[in-house]
Amino acid sequence: MLILSGKIYLFCMLMTVQEALHHIKPFICSLLLAATITTSYGQSTSLDDYIESIIEDLDSDLNFDFNTLYEIYEYRLSNPIHLNKTTNDELQELLFLSDIESQSIIEYREEHGDFISIYELQAVPNLSLKNISRLSDFITIGKDGSQYQQTFAEMLKSGKHEIFIRNEQTLERVKGQTKDDNGEKAFEGNPSNYYLRYRYNTDNRLRFGFTAEKDAGETFFRRSNTTGFDFYSFHFHLKNVLKGVKDLSIGDYTLNFGQGLTVHNSFGGTKSALVNSIKKNGQIIRPYSSRGEAIFLRGIATTIDVSKALDVTGFVSYKNEDANISFIDTTDTDGLFVEFSSIRQDGFHRTASEIEDENTLRRLTTGGRIELSAFPLKIAGNIVVDNFESSFNPQNTVANLFRFRGNTLLNTSIDYSYKWKNVNLFGEAAYSNNSGTAQLYGALIALNRKADISILYRNYSREYQSLLANAFGESSRVNNEKGIYVGFNYEASEKWQFSLYFDQWENPWVRFRVDGPATGTEYLARLTYTPGYKYNSYLQYRYERKERNLSGNETPIDILIPTKLHRWRFNQQIQLNRKFELRNRLEFSLFEDDERSGGLLIAQDVFYRTRKLNLSSRIAYFNTADFDSRIYAFESDLLYSFSIPFFSNEGFRFYINSKWKINYNLTAEFRIARSQFIDINEIGSGNNLISGNSRTDTKVQLRYKF
């Protein structure tokens, strides 16, 4: 039967390439293939499988540090969590476990003693069979590998070193690399992206390292970058090493307070196919080692273990940031008054204007957290203060009427979590010193071993402002929104799982492209079929209704019209044998406002894995009428690199990744990805414009560990 499945799949691949424009035969192939698979239950252990299951359904503009997610999963696959010593926060970092599930594991261990086998997890109340299977790849009950009696000097010798060197480049020349009529180029540097990273880790208790990067178009050891790379980052982190100090981070780090109303830079707590993963959890202080140049703090942060139930966290951050600075003439003072209208977060310093904005804003951020944990209750108070050398003065628009202005922004909040039987209640209430308020309250309810419900209510006033907030919501800004979310997950059997969420919200004040109060509705339904570890498929429907300005409106006040977006997806993966895995995806989109537009994506993937060599490849056909009907799709990439492109217009997309383990210490990786368009002759816009109908991106990476 499995051989027959492989033959049908290969036939489908050939037929899909030949008949992509007809849009029908790949879907027939999918149904034929699904009918031929019958195997036993299980789960793949590929790192990409876990990453894709988490982020493929997240919105592309979420301000998450996805590299941290890669670090956690990659580290835990080779250094599994010790089940008899783990904590709730450590389990929560895996993200796929709900707070009720992770806490049930801890409670079961405290009541019945240490686990004697990972199969004992089947006796843990509220823990689903699917998550038991997932969890098995990340846990152990064997000898604890951590050396808690090591001295600091011994930890400096027993850890592991890793060095990454990567080069990325687009082969086609972009407009910014082309000379104008005056013989000048808009981009100061060459088209290569250079990335260097060093990391040292001893059992996650001692970690330090640095990251350096130069973006495409930036110079290297010349002109505006005489020091070499455009961006440098350093981190040093101790966890449970110093007496009374749970965490100490020096250099670059991120913070995760409560449910994100004041500051949060981790993943989770958003709308996705993981319908009940709406509560934010995780480590309060994390060392930062990624390439993003804006979403981190720089200075020192520490958590002090005052008592068994009381922790106190304090932090200080001082950094220069990119901003749009303006100088205002004043008559009552000598000199000029300096203010900025926005903070730039793209990290690009390629053109004269981008270089002019570089490190022009000095920012001091301080604050802390006091957390009291007396199970089943955890409650904490948070404070974050942002001080700017210049005054923040955004553009005078109606949408910005209630935005923060000035030099100092104060945010305070109280968050809590309370577990009662099979119910976990959580929430946070926050205040900003411009009289803004924000509230978020939620509940996770385990009806039984097979069914879970999640409920979340949020109410963010139009006045509330926080520059570091990252909370549950429809928009990236945590203000001007109130809504209710309900999620439901049901595992009918080991083979069938059904997930559903419904979200309804309103925006009392105007926003970008929405000149008036507006409402919105969104829901997602997914049916997953997993008859065995060699086959998995799901069918998903997602609907979103929003209001926005009518395009081309000529009246003094823009008219709001409803827009509707429908997305249908069928995805399946087949493990042919230990070396070969095949996947395909069929996705449709339909966008409706005063007109209709549609989109289609057909993707065929092949994976080949051996002890020394890993290969992954995709060929995809896409055809979307416009930007509104675009389709996003997660792509496999090199280690610690991710790609979630959107598909618009008509064309083909191809990529191949190769990973060669040269020896135990050295691994080489290569990626080439090419988009070939049928209906356009220019790609991109501005200085990133490519004159032609194709774009080819390459990546080469070396990883050395010792």
Work out the average pLDDT over 293-316.
Answer: 94
Residue 663 CB neighbours (<10 A)? 7
Q: What is the pLDDT of residue 673?
A: 96
Query: What pTM was computed for the model?
Result: 0.86
Alpha carbon distance 525, 375 (integer Å): 35
Q: What is the DSSP string of 433-444?
A: TTTEEEEEEEEE
pLDDT of residue 100: 81
Q: Give residue 649's pLDDT.
A: 93
| Nearest C-alpha neighbor of 234 from the set 270, 212, 209, 216 | 209
Cα–Cα distance measured from residue 234 to residue 165, given in angstroms and rounded to the nearest whole number: 16
Residue 23 has pLDDT above 70, yes or no: no
Nearest to 487 by CA among 475, 498, 478: 498
**pLDDT at 329 > cutoff 70:** no
DSSP 590-614: EEESSSEEEEEEEEEEEEEE-SSEE
Confidence of residue 35 (pLDDT cuts 50, 70, 90): very low
pLDDT: is 130 or 391 the higher one? 391
In this prediction, residue 668 has a pLDDT band, given cuts at 50, 70 and 90, of very high
- Residue 200, CA distances (Å) to 65, 104, 210, 279 in order: 20, 33, 9, 31
Here the tokens at position 654 are 């191809």
Q: Between 433 and 375, where is the model more confident?
A: 433
Residue 592 has pLDDT above 90, yes or no: yes
95-104, 256-265, 463-472 — which is least confidently predicted?
Answer: 95-104
Q: Is 139 helix (H, G, I), strand (E, B) or coil?
A: strand
Strands (E) across 295-435 are located at 297-305, 310-321, 323-329, 336-343, 361-374, 377-392, 406-420, 423-432
608 or 57: which leads in pLDDT: 608
- Contact call for residues 464 and 413 (beta carbons, < 8 A): no
- Looking at residue 371, its pLDDT comes to 97
CA Rg value for the chain: 26
- Predicted pLDDT of residue 46: 59
Query: What's the pLDDT score for residue 472?
Result: 93
CA distance 389 to 393: 13
Measured in Å, how far apart are the chain's first and last C-alpha atoms?
44
What is the spatial distance between Cα 478 and Cα 240, in angstroms, rounded to a whole number? 34
What letter does residue 118 receive in the DSSP assignment?
A: G
The 10s digit of each residue's pLDDT in 491-503 is 998 889 999 999 9
Q: Using the predicted structure, report yes or no on whether residue 38 has a pLDDT greater than 60.
A: no
Q: At residue 17, does pLDDT exceed 70?
A: no
Residue 430 identity (one-letter amino acid):
A
Residue ranges covered by each domain of the chain: 149-238
pLDDT at residue 483 in the model:
96
Of 672, 694, 639, which Cα lies nearest the Cα of 197? Answer: 639
Place of tokens 């003439």: 329
**With 70 as the cut, is the pLDDT of residue 396 above it?**
yes
Q: Which residue has the higher pLDDT, 1 or 288?
A: 288
| Length of the chain (residues) | 706
- Is the pLDDT assigned to residue 684 strictly greater than 80? yes
The structure tokens 């503009």 sit at: 61
Question: Does 10 score more than 60 pLDDT?
Answer: no
Tokens of 383: 């404070």
* Secondary structure (3-state) at 112: helix
Res. 416 pLDDT band, cuts 50 70 90: very high
Q: Is 101 helix (H, G, I), strand (E, B) or coil?
A: helix
376 upstream amide cis, omega within 30 of 0:
yes
pLDDT at residue 14 in the model = 39
Positive or negative torsion for Cα 152, 153, 158, 161: positive
CA dihedral 656, 659, 662, 668 (to 10 degrees): 80
Q: Are strands 81-82 and 139-140 parallel, antiparallel or unpaired?
A: parallel
Instruction: Classify strands 451-460 and 285-287 as parallel, antiparallel or unpaired.
Output: unpaired
- What's the pLDDT score for residue 53? 61
Contacts of 375 (CB under 8 A, 6+ apart): 419
Looking at the predicted structure, is the pLDDT value of residue 57 above 60?
no
- For residue 148, give both structure tokens: 């808690």
Lowest pLDDT segment from 65-74, 157-166, 229-238, 622-631:
65-74
Tens-place pLDDT, residues 168-211: 999 999 999 998 888 889 999 999 999 999 999 998 889 999 99
Cβ(580)–Cβ(552) under 8 Å? no
In sequence order, the β-bridge partners of residue 595 are none
Output the CA–CA distances (angstroms, integers) from residue 681 to 187, 614, 684, 691, in the order listed: 22, 35, 10, 6
How far apart CA 522 and CA 515 sit, in angstroms, is 21
Per-residue confidence at 532, pLDDT binned at 50, 70, 90? confident
Asked if residue 291 has pLDDT above 90, the reply is no
| 3-class DSSP state of 426 | strand
**pLDDT for the residue 56:** 58
- Quote the percentage of the chain above a pLDDT of 90: 55
Name residues whose C-beta falls within 8 Å of residue 522's C-beta, 6 or more positions apart in sequence. Answer: 271, 474, 502, 503, 504, 542, 543, 544, 545
Integer angstrom CA distances of residue 354 from 191, 322, 358, 558: 16, 8, 6, 33
pLDDT in tens, 241-263: 888 999 999 999 999 999 999 99
**H-run or E-run covering 483:** strand 481-491
Which sign does the torsion angle of CA 347, 353, 359, 363 carry?
A: negative
Rounded (10°) angle between helices 2-18 and 25-34: 170
- The span from the CA of 600 to the CA of 631, in Å, is 8
What's the DSSP call for residue 533? T
Angle formed at CA 444 by CA 443 and CA 447, multiple of 5 degrees? 125
**Mean of pLDDT over the chain:** 86
